[in-house]
Amino acid sequence: MTPREDLTYIKVGLAILETLDPNEELTREELDLLTWRFEQLVEHGYEVEDAMDMARAKHVDLELARCLTTKRGCPSAVAARILL
């Protein structure tokens, strides 16, 4: 892993930790899924805060989120408002 990749994973981890509810217990699998969804959204142009909100929102269709920004050219902030 390169230093840049290490830094990216640290940022992902910190973003997730900041948004976790201390009263909510997540399994390792749930945390892995949340991390994966977050990474996918950031890779498709969503801002960190929007990506975290969307990753946690179970009703948000990840494929639609990707499509809105990549295929439809929708600004990520607008797409997040639509999906949330």
pTM for this model (two decimals): 0.73
- Domain holding 50, by residue range, is 3-83
- Closest residue by Cα to residue 62 from 34, 21, 20: 34
Q: Which long-range contacts (CB under 8 A, 24 or more apart) does 29-37 make?
A: 37/62
Number of folded domains that form the chain: 1
Per residue in 63-74, pLDDT tens? 999 999 999 999
Nearest-angstrom CA–CA distance, 38 and 62: 10
pLDDT in tens, 36-64: 898 899 888 898 889 889 998 989 999 99
